[in-house]
Amino acid sequence: MMEWKTLLSAKRWGHEDKPIRDNDDARSQFQIDYDRLIFSSPFRRLQNKTQVFPLPGSVFVHNRLTHSLEVASVGRSLGRIFYNQIKKDNPNIDNEVPLMSEVGNIVAAAALAHDLGNPAFGHSGEAAISRYFTNGEGKFYLDQLADHQKKDFTNFEGNANAIRILTHPFEGKGNGAYALTYATLAAIGKYPCESSIGGDKSKLHRKKYGFFQSEKEIFRKIADELGMLQDNDNPLGYFRHPLTYLVEAADDICYGIIDLEDAHRLQILSFDEVKNLLLPLCNSDKLETRLNDDLEDDDAKVSLLRAKAISTLIYECSTIFYTSQPEILSGKFNKSLTDALPAHYAKAWKKIEEISVEKIYNFQSVIAKEVSGYKVMAGLLEEFVPALVNNDTHYYKKLVKLIPKQFHTEKTDLYSKVQSVLDFVSGMTDLYAVELYGKIKGISFPSVT
Tell me, yes or no, whether 235 lies in a domain.
no
pLDDT at 302 over 80: yes
Tell me, yes or no, whether 335 lies in a domain.
yes
Tell me, yes or no, whether 291 lies in a domain.
yes
Q: Do residues 339 and 283 share a domain?
A: yes
Q: What is the pLDDT of residue 17?
A: 74
| Domain termination residue (choose one: 330, 349, 364) | 364
Over residues 226-254, the pLDDT tens digits come to: 999 998 867 789 999 999 999 999 999 99
> What confidence tier does 54 reach under pLDDT thresholds 50, 70, 90?
low
Tell me, yes or no, whether 166 lies in a domain.
no
Q: Supply the range of the domain harboring residue 293.
A: 269-364
What would the mean pLDDT of 110-125 be, rounded to a whole number?
90
What would the mean pLDDT of 195-205 be, rounded to a whole number?
90
Q: Do residues 332 and 357 share a domain?
A: yes
Tell me, yes or no, whether 82 lies in a domain.
no
Q: What is the pLDDT of residue 16?
A: 75
Q: Do residues 286 and 358 share a domain?
A: yes
Tell me, yes or no, whether 130 lies in a domain.
no
> What confidence tier does 370 reach under pLDDT thresholds 50, 70, 90?
confident
Query: Hey, what's the torsion of the CAs at 161, 318, 180, 326, to 10 degrees?
Result: -90
Query: How far are the Cα atoms of 52, 190, 241 from residue 10, in angstroms, in the given order?
Result: 34, 20, 14
Q: Do residues 382 and 333 share a domain?
A: no
59-73, 211-225, 241-255, range with the lowest pLDDT: 59-73
What would the mean pLDDT of 256-280 be, rounded to a whole number?
91
Tell me, yes or no, whether 349 lies in a domain.
yes
pLDDT at 307 over 90: yes
What would the mean pLDDT of 88-117 be, rounded to a whole number?
96
Tell me, yes or no, whether 409 lies in a domain.
yes
Distance CA 411, CA 47 (A): 32
What CATH number does residue 385 fall under? 1.10.3550.10
Q: Do residues 343 and 394 share a domain?
A: no
> What confidence tier does 372 reach under pLDDT thresholds 50, 70, 90?
confident
| Domain termination residue (choose one: 321, 341, 364) | 364
Helix (H) or strand (E) holding 437: helix 430-440
* Chain centroid, CA 338 distance in Å: 17
Q: Do residues 337 and 311 share a domain?
A: yes
Sequence-distant (6+) residues with CB within 8 A of 315 are: 81
| Domain termination residue (choose one: 348, 364, 380) | 364
Please tell me the total count of domains within the chain.
Answer: 2
pLDDT at 449 over 50: no
What would the mean pLDDT of 101-114 be, rounded to a whole number?
97
Q: Do residues 332 and 370 share a domain?
A: no
What CATH number does residue 325 fall under? 1.10.3410.10
Q: What percent of the chain has pLDDT over 90?
A: 67
